[in-house]
Structure 1
Amino acid sequence: ISTVKGFHGKTLGALSATWNPKYRNPFKSLISENFKFMPFGKLEKAEETITEETAAVIVEPVQGEGGVHVAPPGYLQGLREICDDRGVVLIFDEVQTGFGRTGRMWASEHWNVTPDIMCVAKALGGGLPIGATIAKADIMDSLKTGEHSSTFGGNPLACAAACATIDVILEENLPERAQSLGKRFKRILEKMVDEFRVLREVRGLGLMIGLESRLFVYNVLMKALEDGLILLYSGRNVIRFLPPLVIEINQLERAAEILKGIFAEEDKSLIEKRRKPPSAL
């Protein structure tokens, strides 16, 4: 079981767990039909969907591509209890949230919940491609030697980069830095929400933040590029901020200043459209 708006990758096995039809439909004849999708954050729906016949539940503690939605209080704890009660494996996808991004080494630490399996990647390699699966001993021991492998699995260069990256994250206390900078940047964005009509909400943890607009953000992304600011979207109306954990506060403030100018234009355009009289028939 996966979640609505959940994203777990585009390779064939992972694509089966990814919700977005845009990614699934071109490969529909190949992906597994053994997945069901339940709403994210709704424990009562999880109670209905997860049964003794369920093999596993996979969830992001903070949905990334789905719009930067943080798991509501009690949700992950509730999933843990349901899975324990029904003998179901609980998988956390921390590919985007892991390694300090949300202000803790693992996002799941915010809720003090431990999964049976955890998927990690992205920040692990410090820019080099590497992914890893971390699991409880009995789960890992269920695989026989050679049963699961890949051509570049255990690549020595990528593994050396991962070891060095983890050392830096721990030695420089980057999770705590992400938490501190994230709070400050979030306050800046919240002031922008109060100031501009086109903005609706700010949400996120640490340096994983979503800024939701009332309009599509394509024009904002393109205008920001012209000013030297590279932004990421998360759905058609959410700007997703995933800056490096070593970013400086003055760089975040500069990004906010660029966005203020763009949103001022967006606000002005919105007001003019509303004031414009309807054309005569």
Structure 2
Amino acid sequence: MLSPTILPRSTGSCLRAVASRSISVRPSSSSWGGDAGPRRSLATASSSFFPDEPKAPTINTAIPGPKSKQASEAIAQFQDPRTHVFVTDYAKSKGNYIADVDGNVMLDVFAQIASIPIGYNNPRLLELAKSDEFAIAAMNRPALGSFPSKEWAETINSGLLSVAPSGTPHLFTQMCGSCANEGALKAAFMAYRARQRGEEQAFSAEEMSSCMKNEAPGAPQLTAMSFTTAFHGRLFGSLSLTRSKAIHKLDIPAFDWPAVPFPLLKYPLSEYASENAETEARALAQVEATIVEQKKIGSDVAALIVEPIQAEGGDNHASPGFFNALRTLTKEHGVYMIVDEVQTGVGATGSFWAHEKWNLDTPPDFVTFSKKMQAAGFYHRAELRASLPYRNYNTWMGDPIRALQAREMISYINEHDLVAHTESIGNALYASLLSRAKSNHSQHIQNLRGEHAGTFIAWDLETAAKRDKLVVEMRQRGINMGACGDRAVRLRPMLVFGQPQMEVLLGTLDEVLKEI
């Protein structure tokens, strides 16, 4: 392994038994997906993306260092800086490595909270930024819903729509992940009411007047269902769906929407197959019971939203069988299914969309995205488009320069086969962590999860305090990583993360785990 250069510093499948109306889950195995071999050597693939990126971290000061603290103090004059980790020098960041203003250079396996796909200052994106196409889009930002550019259709068709999930060929562009989820919710509510009205699609005078007073029937008593430990954003509507941390929700009024316990599986999966199947079956039964109960009280569940992997909530997984049964339930009860791929989408799990690995018979109704796509929005079925113009609308409705960026990144991902690469390096990374979990680091690598999920890997430490210490110590030694849930560490490297970076990560991890 290449050690960081550290200079002195001042401070250290699920089946439904229709006849009996019971819900059962096939026992999970330790492996839910196939193991695709690498298309080329991991070392060759990763080194070719950024041949001049650093080979190892360089640490000059404690992190954050004095210049970083000073820069945060300047920001504090107009904005709360208490969430700052360090202040970044993006001009000096390259590939998998992020630089701060003190000259520290770190291997970044958190990647702006899982939102950088193809590395810092990727030459392909820098060339795009110099183009007339990009400059014109940046200097003339349109209200896309009313005044789209002549290039807009081609930009979308060659980019975002080229990777549209199966069964959802229509697209509504938005500004962020929370916006995407709220836009999908609005579309689901409108489609649900349109279905209830049937052929009588005209709005009544009572509906028109009552909605202006936030009253039924114009503002119907519909609900959206989510899961406990879920994260779907922090805007007003999406926050009512979010259930990961209290600090996100305190003092904010919320919709009275139900959340059903997400099946928290036990690891290793192979040892708890039967118990995990029962856990998933109970969760499915609660989903159905809640849908039925909400209908009885006149507050129908119009939409159910779910993450393929609950990231912020602790990297909580469920089996493909669970999600297949969930889709069956939503179809049977007329509930629209929204799959939140904000963090899981764009290749991180070894497939472009994480839900592709479920092999659903019927695709979800909506798929939301943001983060690694840089652009944001939701894909949907054609019939779920709003009945009238301006019902689902805002000024920007996305951003042309982000759509151009997404187009270029999608092209780069395809050209370099980065999804297959991420699956391969993820398998190697998981295997390396598993060997450590089974040997000398078993107390510090608990409940390892993410097998056959690309580099979307996490594990628990004994306590939250030890988890936090690990994250801090890794950063001091040149590895920027993140936490999630109560006591979990999550890895969110970029799609250009490869063998050399894995060796740096694991070597540093071994050193730190010996000390904590």
Scaled by the length of structure 1, the TM-score of the pair is 0.88
Aligned equivalent of 1:32: 255
1:279 is aligned to none
Say which is worse superposed, 178-187 or 12-21, in terms of deviation. 12-21
Number of aligned pairs? 258
Give the counterpart of 2:373 among 85, 109, 124: 124
Alpha-carbon distance in 1 for matches of 2:394, 2:474: 40
Give the aligned residue type for 2:373.
L
Q: C-alpha distance in 1, partners of 2:394/2:411?
A: 26
**Distance in 1 of aligned mates of 2:290 and 2:499:** 44
Deviation of the 1:143 alpha carbon: 4.7
Contact 1:43-1:79 within 8 A present in 2 as well: yes
C-alpha separation between the residues in 2 aligned to 1:123 and 1:244?
9
Does residue 43 (structure 1) correspond to residue 43 (structure 2)? The answer is no
Structure 1 CA distance for aligned equivalents of residues 316 and 500 of structure 2: 26
Q: CA RMSD in A?
A: 1.4
Q: Which runs of 4+ in 1 moved over 4 A?
A: none
Q: In the alignment, does 2:310 pair up with 1:63?
A: yes
Q: Displacement, 1:237?
A: 1.2
- Residue 137 of structure 1 corresponds to 382
Q: Distance in 2 between matches of 1:202 and 1:151?
A: 44
Corresponding residue for residue 169 of structure 1? 413
Q: Match of 2:430, as an amino acid?
A: K
Letter in 2 for 1:97: T
Q: Deviations over 1:174-224 (max 9, x none)?
A: 211111111100011112212212321210111111121112211111111
AA aligned to 2:338 is I
Aligned to 1:206: 454
Separation of aligned partners in 2, 1:17 and 1:144: 27
2:501 paired residue number: 251
Task: After superposition, give the CA deviation of every residue in 1:232-270 in whole Å (9 maximum; x if it has no partner).
Answer: 10123111001001112111121111111111112xxxx
Task: Tell me which residue corresponds to 2:514.
Answer: 264
Aligned counterparts of 1:111 and 1:101: Cα–Cα separation in 2: 15
User: C-alpha separation between the residues in 1 aligned to 2:352 and 2:509?
Assistant: 29
Structure-2 separation of matches of 1:200 and 1:257: 19
Letter in 2 for 1:256: L
The residue matched to 2:301 in structure 1 has which SS? coil
Q: Is the 8 A contact 1:218 1:236 kept in 2?
A: no
Q: Distance in 1 between matches of 2:460 and 2:321?
A: 24
The whole-number CA distance in structure 1 between the counterparts of 2:326 and 2:315 is: 19
Asked if 1:112 is matched to 2:359, the reply is yes
Contact 2:315 2:485 in 1 (8 A): no
Residue 19 (structure 1) aligned with residue 243 (structure 2) = yes
SS in 2 for 1:264: helix
User: Which of 239, 250, 258 is matched with 2:489 structurally?
Assistant: 239
Q: Which residue of 2 aligns with 1:224?
A: 474
Greater Rg over alpha carbons, structure: 2
| Paired-residue identity, % | 29
- Asked if the contact 2:315/2:490 (under 8 Å) is kept, the reply is yes
Separation in 2 of the partners of 1:154 and 1:93? 18
Do 1:189 and 1:211's aligned partners in 2 also have CA atoms closer than 8 Å?
Answer: no
Q: Distance in 1 between matches of 2:251 and 2:383?
A: 36
Relative to the length of structure 2, the TM-score reads 0.49
Q: 1 or 2 for the larger relative contact order (CA 8 Å, sep ≥6)?
A: 2
Residue 172 of structure 1: how far off its partner (Å): 2.0
1:183 & 1:99 partners in 2: Cα distance? 17
* AA at the equivalent of 1:32: F
Amino acid at match of 2:454: G
Report SS of the residue matched to 2:513: helix
On the 8 A contact 1:95/1:121 being kept in 2, the answer is yes
> Contact 1:212 / 1:237 at 8 angstroms: preserved in 2?
yes
Unpaired segments of 5 or more residues in structure 2? 1-224, 264-282
